[in-house]
Amino acid sequence: MTVVTIVADHPLVLDSLARIRDVKTPNALFRQNLERIGTLLIAEATRTLPSVSGNVTTPLADAAAERIAVQPVIVPILRAGLGFLRPAQELLPDADIGFIGIARNEKTHEPEPYVNKLPQNIGERPVIVVDPMLATGGSLVHTLRLLVERGARQPMTVIVALAAPEGIAAVEASGIDVTLFTAVVDDRLDHNAYIVPGLGDAGDRQFGTPA
């Protein structure tokens, strides 16, 4: 199976995608619409989470109820992945959160890890990796390999706002089974490994350009 790509073409997703692409969109509005995309994609991606049947007592009577059977592990890739953290926590407040920090070397375009804080008890729990951009795939593949080493089950779920074909190909080449949810698959990467047409640097447009 390796990579199954699901493009969520919901009108609300596409509306927010147009806003975050726009070079004139200020940081605050960019963050707001990125979170909106995150909420909608996470809701779609968690549609198949296993549930357990039970009962709940309403003010009038007992009623059948379904609850999430196993809380997932959410892994944002820092720093841009923080843009999807709040919607993930709002939808899955009991989920554990792991953090992987990876910077991109602007000369080699290779990932440079700097944070690895994953929960110990991943086991058989569903894993959802979130990062707004899938460009070269280097950061994502590094993260997926760390999760496999921790015993994460496959396929893992990956949620991005934009993906490049080169990034999808890199994940496929890794041999790790992934279900990828995205708002769009863009045309290509440019010579600086930025997604085209893309939206620029997702981290900078959320948090400002670092000195």
Per residue in 95-145, pLDDT tens? 999 999 877 776 776 777 777 888 887 888 999 999 999 999 999 999 999
* Model confidence band, residue 210 (pLDDT cutoffs 50, 70, 90): low
In a domain, 9, yes or no: no
104 flagged as catalytic: yes
- pLDDT computed for residue 115 by the predictor: 79
Burial of 80 (0-12, 13-18, 19+ CB in 10 A): buried
The yes-or-no verdict on residue 12 having pLDDT over 90 is: yes
The DSSP string of 19-50 is HHH-TT--HHHHHHHHHHHHHHHHHHHTTT--
Q: Which of 2, 5, 96, 204 is catalytic?
A: 204
- Residue 206 sits at the vertex; the CA angle it makes with 111 and 160, to the nearest 5 degrees, is 55
Judge whether 143 counts as a catalytic residue: no
Q: Is 13 a member of any domain? A: no
Coil, strand or helix at 193: coil
- Catalytic annotation present for 9: no
Based on its alpha-carbon atoms, the radius of gyration of the chain, rounded to whole angstroms, reads 18
The catalytic residue among 25, 104, 150, 177 is: 104
The two three-digit tokens of residue 87, written as one number: 């919607």
Does the residue 20 lie in any domain? no
CATH number of the domain enclosing 110: 3.40.50.2020
- Say which of 9, 48, 108, 190 is annotated catalytic: 108
Banded model confidence at residue 1, pLDDT cuts 50, 70, 90: low
CA dist 184 and 85 (Å) reads 20
pLDDT score recorded for residue 123:
81
**Residue range of the domain that includes 96:** 72-206
Q: Is 204 a catalytic residue?
A: yes
Do the Cβ atoms of 151 and 171 come closer than 8 Å? no
**Is the residue at 138 inside a domain?**
yes
Does 15 reside within a domain? no
Q: Answer whether residue 211 shows pLDDT above 90.
A: no
Per-residue pLDDT tens over the stretch 43-97: 999 999 999 999 999 999 999 999 999 999 999 998 889 999 999 999 999 999 9
From the candidates 125, 150, 177, 201, give the one annotated as an active-site residue: 201
Domain count across the chain: 1
- How many other CB atoms are found less than 10 A from the CB of residue 76? 25
Percentage above 70 pLDDT, the chain:
97
Residue 113 in domain: yes
Condensed to tens digits (0 to 9), the pLDDT of residues 133-183 reads 999 999 999 999 999 999 999 999 999 999 999 999 999 999 999 999 999
Report if residue 211 sits inside a domain. no
Query: Within a domain: residue 157?
Result: yes
User: Would you state the pLDDT for residue 109?
Assistant: 65
Beta strands in 8-126 (DSSP E): 51-57, 62-68, 73-78, 96-97, 99-104, 111-117
- CB neighbourhood size of 71 (10 A): 14
